[in-house]
Structure 1
Amino acid sequence: MAINDSYQDEDEDEDEDEVSELLELLEKFSFENASLKKTVKTLNKENVSLKHELECLSKRTLEDKTISLEKENEILKVEIDALKRTFSKFLNSSEKLDKLLGLQRCVFNKAGLGYDEMNNVKHFQKYLDKKDNQKLSSSMTCNYCKKYGHTTHTCYRKKNDMYKRNLLLKNKLLKLRTIWVPKGTFVTNPPRPKATWVPKAST
């Protein structure tokens, strides 16, 4: 019996050891469980706050986008109105031009405005010819006197100068002497004397 009691005591000791180990494991797991619950709670709070911030940001971006689109819409409406006005002017002017072309009247014909009808329009043709001649004459320049409106062939200053020169030659007041020189003997541009640099004398 004593042996049975000793076995029972040993079994009880082993059971107590196992129970104590299990209790220690239970305490560890309970601590871990509590810490994990705390982390889950904090993560849930962070998740909720982030969701709230995301909703606020999405609302703000949507509001900003709608505001920018409304501004752009207003600008485009103003541009469309301006373009409509300009196109209406073009349409009106094209209609007026068609009316004028349909009349087929001369510019100088003022019949119907209190004037008699003009049967003879020749003097207006002369007026237009004069204007064309003035345009041509203003584009011509003289190479002798450098003035506009005529050429060297019709230059009165050149003719006057030539007349004076001829008079002086006839009256022998002006003598021109011409000499024949063989080619290469008369140098037109003689070289200058050689210049040497002399330093300034110090005194």
Structure 2
Amino acid sequence: MNEIEILNVSSKLSIDSLEENEKLKIEIDALNKTFSKFSNSSDKLDNLLGLQRCVFDKASLGYDEMTNVKHFQNFFIKKSKPKMSCNYCGRLGHVSTSCLYRNNRYYGKTK
């Protein structure tokens, strides 16, 4: 009887392993389907991003077609500081109303 019980247990184990194998195959197929959806959607997104036109392309609005345009140029150019010059003494950096030579009492400022 021992041999019969051992054979029964081994057959149950083999049946259980076959059932588990089938369940795992079904799960693998489901995961492959979901992965292929993500893969296809990323390909579609790349395709859509490649098809869109540039923001600066105004060819359909009556402008000439864009050729040799830098898309990422520097739009914000810093202002250069204004170079003030004094009309009284001719030096740079101040104007005549704040000129030291003009306003200095030793150089003829009148009160």
Which TM-score bucket, shorter chain as reference? 0.5 to 0.7
In the TM superposition, residue 101 of structure 1 has moved relative to its aligned partner by: 5.2
For 2:83, the equivalent position in structure 1 comes to 150
Task: Give me the whole-angstrom Cα distance separating, in 2, the residues matched to 1:157 and 1:66.
Answer: 86
Given candidates 23, 36, 46, the residue that maps to 1:83 is 46
1:64 is aligned to 2:27: yes
Identity of aligned residues (%): 2
Secondary structure of 1:155 counterpart: coil
Task: Give me the whole-angstrom Cα distance separating, in 1, the residues matched to 2:27 and 2:84.
Answer: 74
In the TM superposition, residue 89 of structure 1 has moved relative to its aligned partner by: 2.1
C-alpha distance 155-69 of structure 1, shift in aligned 2 (>3 A) = same
1:47 is aligned to 2:23: no
1:169 is aligned to 2:94: no
Task: Give me the whole-angstrom Cα distance separating, in 1, the residues matched to 2:12 and 2:38.
Answer: 39
Higher RCO (C-alpha 8 Å, min separation 6): 2
C-alpha RMSD over aligned residues: 3.4
1:139 is aligned to 2:80: yes
Q: As a proportion of its length, which structure holds more helix?
A: 1
Per-residue CA deviation, residues 110-158 of structure 1 (Å, 9 max, x unaligned), is xxxxxxxxxxxxxxxxxxxxxxxxx67x322xxxxxxxx2357142168
Report how many residues are paired.
88
Given candidates 51, 54, 65, the residue that maps to 1:100 is 65
Secondary structure of 2:14 counterpart: helix
- Please say which structure displays the higher CA radius of gyration: 1
For 1:18, the equivalent position in structure 2 comes to none
* Contact in 1 for aligned 2:84/2:94 (Cα 8 Å): yes
Structure 2 unmatched ranges of 5 or more: 68-76, 86-91
AA aligned opposite 2:102: Y
Task: Give me the whole-angstrom Cα distance separating, in 2, the residues matched to 1:74 and 1:139.
Answer: 55
Structure 1 unmatched ranges of 5 or more: 1-37, 103-134, 141-148, 172-203
Superposed structure 1 runs of 4+ greater than 6 Å apart: none
AA aligned opposite 1:150: K
Secondary structure of 2:83 counterpart: coil
Task: Give me the whole-angstrom Cα distance separating, in 1, the residues matched to 2:96 and 2:29.
Answer: 81
